[in-house]
Chains A and B, each alone.
Chain A
């Protein structure tokens, strides 16, 4: 049971995590995971000693580069990185987007080594929820500060703070175009996705039923149950003037500075009265008051509570989470609407629920591993040596998980119907074999890595059974091993020496175990 639970709440239950879990017990372990510390010397050491390859060809402006480079940019503030977006300075594209590349490397390292595994899963959740496509150079440069300052800072905290932080973040203002939205004919992109994706959700979009705000149930008493396009149009007006310092010409000879930082422009804001979710907004309110009020109304709306509760339950419990759990979670969300640890309390409620325990025991409610989780769990459970590489990032992307590069604002779908196709299945099979055979320069796996805990002479059957047990847990090891052994016609109890050929075979067998149907699930 603790194996199943840890596989849901971490990126792969390994021996050390199981031991610490068993030592402190479920309640305290969960409590600790929901209070991640900033101070992790061991993880810091991994990050500060890590390298990530950079490789590009020469042009007339710069020489070729192909080297392992430490991660030096990803923790710098945006103002120190923004000059990478300046095309007056001649730079290779890979140098411009290096902050994003380092962030990818750091995500992998944290996934493998961070003791705060639940936090890493929530970072993945929120990066999908507030998805931004980092294909644009300005977004790529601003992505580290977005992840650190918005997603990690508030990911277990209060949702309203998270929402406000994202609304003022450079990547979101660029990606959903609010930086160019101005009075007269505002750009509706951000406002629409704010309602539909970030807060109330498409289930509360009632445009097909009502075309006037007064008709929406609850509107007459100032508490509409859903929203329609009229709310989106008015909210777009409320956010006019929320932009970034991107050297833009503002008219009348005024030009914005070029720092990438958030700014508010009075002259681009539409100051007149508005009506959003049946509430009147006075004309000429204080700077940013209109937008902040919209975020306040949306973050406190019961529809948002339900949408977010259902989404978190779907991520951790089941593709089709039980309604009773979604309802009770919604209540906890609303009861803690101003709590500084609102999201952590919601998660605690979910993990302590009977529905969660039942889901862990029910094969039908298994959650598929995302390709990132598949790779990281394999590394963690075999304790493989690991160095991050673009080759691995690309393979994870080919298997369907495009880290920081999902194109549309909805983020990756959270349902097996998306994650399983003939294409992604084949790519999933590549991942363990490629890792253990070092196809992508993630590290050579030697005999010493796989046999550290064993006494000589080494027996192949025992060694593989031991690792299989660590990967698959009690229930599914036997079946997987016997199917594999039958196909390979493996002689039993072969002794392993130092010969390289034998270890090639051992390594492959460990990869095959991770290519099994059972290992595709958390």
Chain B
């Protein structure tokens, strides 16, 4: 992309932002729980949403790695395209999201990415998830991007709060530095009860009672203490039948997709905690498997199906419960425009960000589509970035968390 065009594009985007903010200033804005969904591995945004009639797009990829405008499984036309005068469509497996675009509960920001030129999964994820932008400065315990946005709780009884949740076994970097958090992997009700009997609990409470003077080398002590507190609080609020913790029951008519247990349990855990009113401000959900260097077509079809149907189920579930939720979906980068000879795509640069909001608030700026001609591509190869994904994310989170 030429510099002049880029500047023009950025000016346009600033105007769009201003218009968007102006729009937001009217009407009361309720706070909502932010659900941050990370498609790990570099999701191929160009097979999730694309201008299907673009000659460069058609030339760069075989039909199996494209969204098509016709045939047995055509793409789904977006009510408002992200590139003017082009036929912008979603992958057919994203059908559960289509009418949310029509009702303006869903938005897409295409061509957004990091300011850094990296094509590394691990560098890109670290930058995206960190509160810092310079990769050389980021350490294992650098606070995550959400940490500066979340104010410490003013609740005097703040211990009885699950303010943030990671739905994976290990810590999620985006949440690093936050307190009153919790991790759950698998079904919530099977991951709350402590091992052993009442004596075991007494002993654990005794062993983990001390507040470590120096946290270095005492991380296990601090985490054990937090674990005892958080588990017992959530367990006490869980629905029970005959004394036993019950499985999650979604709102009537809501069907989660059960092909992927990890994703299913992750979203149902978030839904359960939101419905239990435990003070959840932000939940991080990882959904991996998007690193499709080989045989992409079938794999991405399955991934998009699991993703979109579960996003839709969670959205409907929360809307039925009357809980305001903002769901932001990102990946560390998009993939190469041109396919490789393994029927896959390699690491690219800009990707797409997705947003679902139960109250149809327009949180994303309009896409500035850079085009797919060689001169418009980043380093001549990849979709260029016209919005900084970290800046947009921070703005989305700010609005969701503070109303």
Contacts and interface: CB of A to CB of B under 8 A. Distances in A.
Nearest to A176: B293
Interface string A488-522: 10000000000000000000100110011100110
Interface residues of A, number: 68
A419 B207 contact: no
A207 to B, nearest CB: 5
Contacts of A483: 203, 206-207, 209
A107 interface: no
B359 interface: no
A205 B204 contact: no
A185 B340 contact: yes
Contacts of B224: 425, 517
A449 B253 CA distance: 56
Nearest to B121: A408
B203 A484 contact: yes
Contacts of B208: 517
A160 interface: no
A508 B200 contact: yes
Contacts of B118: 205, 207-208
B129 interface: no
B119 A202 contact: no
Nearest to B221: A517
Contact of B186 (A205, A398, A508): A398
Given A423-B169, A483-B206, A487-B203, A185 B338 contact: yes
B223 A421 contact: yes
A184 interface: yes
A422 B346 contact: no
Interface string B170-194: 1100001000011111100001001
B185 A368 contact: no
Minimum-distance CB pairs A-B, first 4: A421-B183, A487-B206, A180-B342, A520-B220
A319 B220 CA distance: 14
B339 interface: yes
28 contacts: A176-B293, A177-B294, A177-B344, A180-B342, A187-B294, A188-B293, A192-B120, A192-B346, A192-B347, A197-B122, A208-B117, A368-B220, A398-B169, A398-B186, A399-B169, A415-B140, A415-B141, A416-B220, A419-B170, A422-B181, A422-B183, A422-B227, A423-B184, A424-B169, A429-B195, A434-B195, A487-B199, A511-B196
Interface in B156-179: 166, 168-171, 176
A496 B390 CA distance: 63
Nearest to B123: A202
A182 B339 CA distance: 12
Main SS at interface, chain A: helix
Contacts of A182: 341-342
Given A187-B293, A425-B227, A208 B116 contact: yes
Interface of A: 176-177, 180-189, 192, 196-197, 202-203, 205, 207-208, 211, 229, 232, 319, 362-366, 368, 398-400, 407-408, 410, 413, 415-427, 429-430, 433-434, 480, 483-484, 486-488, 508, 511-512, 515-517, 520-521
Interface of B: 40-41, 116-123, 135-136, 140-141, 166, 168-171, 176, 181-186, 191, 194-196, 199-200, 202-209, 214, 216-221, 223-224, 226-227, 230-231, 288-289, 291, 293-294, 338-344, 346-347, 379
A470 B273 CA distance: 42
B169 A364 contact: no
Contact of B140 (A180, A184, A319, A480): A319
A35 B40 CA distance: 41
A416 B344 contact: no
Contacts of A433: 195-196, 200
Contact of B199 (A176, A207, A434, A488): A488
B219 A416 contact: yes
Contacts of A232: 119
A430 to B, nearest CB: 5
A517 B226 CA distance: 13
Contacts of B341: 180-187
| Residue among A232, A362, A410, A424 with the highest chain B CB neighbour number at 10 A | A424
Given A202-B122, A410-B121, A434-B195, 10 more contacts: A177-B294, A187-B293, A211-B117, A365-B217, A410-B122, A417-B140, A422-B181, A423-B182, A426-B195, A433-B196
B204 A508 contact: no
A520 B222 CA distance: 12
| Residue among A183, A422, A434, A517 with the highest chain B CB neighbour number at 10 A | A422
Contacts of B340: 181, 185-188
A355 B208 CA distance: 30
A468 B6 CA distance: 67
B140 A516 contact: no
A427 to B, nearest CB: 8
B230 to A, nearest CB: 5
Contacts of B119: 192, 207, 229, 232
Contacts of A427: 169
A202 B120 contact: yes
A187 B171 contact: no
Given A410-B122, A420-B220, A207 B117 contact: yes
Contacts of A319: 140
A365 B184 CA distance: 28
Contacts of B123: 202, 205
Contacts of A421: 166, 169-171, 183, 223
A442 B234 CA distance: 32
A196 B119 CA distance: 11
Contacts of B120: 192, 196, 202, 205, 207
B288 A407 contact: yes
A363 to B, nearest CB: 4
